[in-house]
Amino acid sequence: MSNRLPACSCLLLHLALLSVACDGPEIDYSGPVANWPVYGANDDADRHSPLDQIRPENVTALEVAWTHRSGDYEDGSGQSLLPTAFQNTPIAVGDSLYICTPLNRVIALDASTGEERWSFDPGVDRTGMYLSNCRGVSYWRDARAAPGSACSERIFTGTLDARLIALDAHSGEPCPGFGQEGEIDLRGGVGDVKPGEYGVTSPPLIVGDRLITGSMVLDNRRVDMPGGVVRAFDTRSGAELWGWDPVPPGTPPPPEGVTYRRGTTNAWTALSADPDLGLVYVPTGNTSADYYGGHREGLDEYSSSVVALDVNSGEVVWHFQTVHHDIWDYDLPAQPVLFDFRRDGRVVPALVQASKMGHLFFLDRRNGVPLFPVEERPVPQGAVAGETLSPTQPFPTRPPPIHPAALRPEDAFGFTFWDRGKCRELIESLRSDGIFTPPSLQGTVHYPGYIGGTNWGSVATDPGRRMLVVNTTRVAGRVRLIPRKELEELYPEGIPEFEIENQGGTPYGVERLPLLSPLGAPCNPPPWGTLVGIDLDSGEIRWDVPLGTSRDMAPFPVWLFGPDGAPNLGGPMTTASGLTFIAATTDHYLRAFDTASGEELWRGRLPTGGLATPMTYRLAEGDRQFVVIAAGGHGLLGVPSGDSLVAFALPE
C-alpha cells in the first residue's frame, strides 16, 4: 500500500501549515515587565531576567524585530592596530537603550524601534591602540535633583584614552558640573602614559553616589606600565573620594610626581558590589609583565585575585588569590557574580568568580572564605634564570575544572592524518607538563590559553532553577621566552606589534601564538568551545555541550562535516522561562538553550559573529520581549568586524 497522501490532502495540509506559520504563536502579554538597567542586569550581575514571554515552546518563532547600525567599525586598516570588536551589552532604562561603540561613541536608541535619539562622540585619538572596544555604559538617577532637570539622569562612560564622562541621559550633552565640563582625566597620578596603553573599556560601577572604576593596561609591554589603581568619584561633582593602589603594605612610595605605583596589577573588567555589605568586588589582572615576574619583589600580592574593598574608604577588607605569582596571563577577566548559596537549610551570601583556567571559585562574599575546599597542589617547576615560581597553585574541588588541564602529543588533532601528525610533532617540540607549565626558552604549550577558559563574558545564573551557565574556549597556545640580546638581533628595526611582546625591563621578550595545524585547525582536540550548566548549591556539572560550529571559519563544504564547538568570546544570559541565550561564537548565530538540560532549541543568523553578551527587556504590559545582541566580530579571532545591534522578538 502506498504511504502517499492524495494530492488534495497534501494541498490542505500545506495550507494549514502555512496558516500556522503566518499567524505565529500567540503572544502572552500577562507576564512580568522588566528592563536591564546595568551591565550585568542587576546588582547581583547575574545576567538573569524575570521575563517569560519568550519560552521554550515558542522560541523557534523568534525573528529580527529591528537592527541598528552605528557605522563605527574598522577592519584594521584605520587608527586601530586590529579590527574593532563590538563587545557592548546595552542597558535599558525607561524607553531607551544606551550603547557605546568600539570607537567610544555613546548612542541612545528608542528601545521599541532601534531608532537613534542622540549620539555623543568624545573624540578619542586611537592612534596606536591595540584593540578598540567598549563593553558598556552606566546609568545613575540623582535623587536630589528635580525630575526632568538637566543631568538629573546621567550616563557615565569610560574612554580608550582614560577619561570618565558624564552625559545627560535625555540629551546626550556633557554634564558641566561633573569634573571639568563633564569629564575627568584618569591619567593624573599614574605617571607618563603612551597612546593606547591606558584606558577604560568596561562600564564604571555605581554604588549609591559613588562612581568606581579600574582601567585597562597593556601590561605586557614593559615593567613600568601605568599602575592599576582603582578609584571612586562623586557621581555629582566628579571629586575623587579614594584610590586603592594595589600594592602590599610597606611598599616603598612611588617617585615624586607619581601618586600610584607603576607596573601593578590592574582591574580591566567589570566590578561588582554588595551595597548592603558595603563591599566592592574587584577582579584583578596581572602585574607587568605577563610572562616574567623575577623583578616583582612582592608587587603581585593582589594580582589574579578577587579583592573586596570598603565602598566608603577603598581599604582592603579581604582578598582571595586564584593564581600565585601569575606568569601565564591568567588574570581574572570576568565580573564577579553574586548569589545566595544554600547549604543545610542555611543561606550564605556568596559570589562566583570565573577564570581563564576554567576554574570557578565559590566564595563567601562577606569574608572570601571558599564554600568548597580549595586545594594547594604541586605544579610544574623549572623556570628560566631569574624567575621564581610558586611551588603550588590553588585548585577548586567544586565545581570541577571545566577546561582540560593538559595537552599531550597523543591528543593532537588534525583534519587529516598529515596535519594531525604535524600537530603531534609541534606539541612534542614544546614543553607540556600540564596547566601552570612555566614559559620556557624552548617554548611551552599554553593550555588553557590566555583567552580562556572563561573570559570577560562571565557567567549567568538562574536563581529559581539553581543553575549557573558558563561558556568556555578550548584553544591551546604556545609561549616562548626570547632572551633580550636575541630579541634585539631578530628585530633591529623594532619589535612587531603582534605575536611578539617586548616585556621591556625584563631579560626576556615573549612570543605567543595559537597552536594550530598547517591547515589552520587547533592542535588540541574538539570541542573548541562549550557551554556548561552547573548546580549552584552542589557545584556538580549537570550538562556540558559543544557551543558553536566551524561554519563561517572553515570553507564550504568543510564546515558541514567539521566538529561542533567553536572558539568564543562573550557570555550568556538566562530568563525566568528557562532559556539561556548566548552568541559569543565564531559562527554568526545567536542561540537559545534549555537552561535545565542544555538542549539547543533555536539559533538566529547574525550579520557577523556576536562576540558579546546579549540582554533582554520588555518595557510595558502591551509590549513584546526583545532579546538584543551586538554583532560586531573580533579581530583576534578572525571574525569580520561589524556594527550591527540586532533585536529579536516574537512576531506581532
Active site residues: 329
Does residue 490 contact residue 440 with C-beta atoms inside 8 Å?
no
Name, in order, each residue with C-beta under 8 angstroms of 292's C-beta and a sequence gap of 6 or more.
327, 384, 386, 387, 439, 481, 503, 506, 507, 508, 510
Per DSSP (E only), the strands in 1-73 are 48-49, 63-69
Q: Which SS3 state, helix, strand or coil, does residue 61 take? A: helix
Residue 557: cis peptide before it, omega within 30 degrees of 0? yes
Give the Cα separation of 354 and 334 in Å (integer): 6
Length of the chain: 652
Q: How many CA atoms lie within 13 A of 361 on its CB side?
A: 27
Name, in order, each residue with C-beta under 8 angstroms of 40's C-beta and a sequence gap of 6 or more.
46, 47, 270, 272, 335, 337, 458
Q: What is the identity of the amino acid at 157? A: T
Does residue 548 contact residue 586 with C-beta atoms inside 8 Å?
yes
Q: What is the identity of the amino acid at 535? A: D
Does residue 356 contact residue 454 with C-beta atoms inside 8 Å?
yes
Terminal C-alpha separation, the chain = 44
Give the Cα separation of 115 and 76 in Å (integer): 28
What Rg value do the Cα atoms of the chain yield, rounded?
25
Q: Which SS3 state, helix, strand or coil, does residue 151 take? A: coil
Give the Cα separation of 246 and 302 in Å (integer): 6
DSSP summary character for residue 636:
G
Does residue 418 contact residue 426 with C-beta atoms inside 8 Å?
no
Does residue 543 contact residue 596 with C-beta atoms inside 8 Å?
no
Name, in order, each residue with C-beta under 8 angstroms of 148's C-beta and a sequence gap of 6 or more.
none
CA dihedral 544, 35, 43, 59 (to 10 degrees): -10
Closest by CA to 616, choosing from 590, 639, 588, is 590
Give the Cα separation of 509 and 487 in Å (integer): 7
Name, in order, each residue with C-beta under 8 angstroms of 153's C-beta and a sequence gap of 6 or more.
93, 139, 140, 141, 142, 168, 169, 170
Give the Cα separation of 628 and 610 in Å (integer): 10
Give the Cα separation of 229 and 226 in Å (integer): 9
User: What kind and span of H or E run contains 17?
Assistant: helix 7-23
Give the Cα separation of 546 and 523 in Å (integer): 17
Does residue 434 contact residue 405 with C-beta atoms inside 8 Å?
yes
How many helices (DSSP H) and strands (DSSP E) are in the chain?
A: 4, 40
Q: What angle do CA 615, 619, 625 make, to 5 degrees?
A: 55
Q: Which neighbouring-strand residues pair with 47? A: none
